Structure 1
Amino acid sequence: MTDKFRPGDPVEWNSHGGIAKGKVKKKLTSRTRIKGHQVAASPDNPEYLVETASGAQAAHKPSALRKAGQEDKA
């Protein structure tokens, strides 16, 4: 199986303020702390570190992200 996202990919996700946009920084496959929060990533349950244009970082599950510019088909 290929990775869904790669570093540098432009992505967007639903945020409490609307649609947020950023770029994938890296795939997380081990427990990590981001902004004081524990991210329970593992090889079987990876998450992606994303960064917005303003430099804010967050971790998201692959199912929460989509390539920027693509409509949500749900």
Structure 2
Amino acid sequence: MSSQIFAIGDIVAWNSEAGRVSGRIRKILTAPFLVNGYQHHATPQTPQYEIESLKTSHIAFHKGSALTKLP
């Protein structure tokens, strides 16, 4: 579990198949949810984050442990 705390509007980075990506957190999800048939297991203790890529505007969903907060 990530020791960092993230908020809506934070700029974060993560590794993807295409390399390092950065984006802005749009939502904090604290309950299980489906995206394109894939079940994401978010809870209040282990939230997942909806992030919009700064470069492509693509929407991604990640656990806090996959994210690094950028200045």
Q: Could you say which TM-score interval applies, normalised by the shorter chain?
A: 0.7 to 0.9
TM-score w.r.t. structure 2 length? 0.80
Larger Rg: 1
TM-score w.r.t. structure 1 length? 0.77
Relative contact order higher in (CA < 8 Å, ≥ 6 apart) = 2
The alignment yields a C-alpha RMSD, in angstroms, of 1.7
1:37 aligns with 2:19: no
Q: Which runs of 4+ in 1 moved over 4 A?
A: none
Q: Which has the higher strand share?
A: 2
Q: Which runs of 5+ in 1 are unaligned?
A: 70-74
Identity of aligned residues (%): 39
SS at match of 1:4: coil
SS at match of 2:34: strand
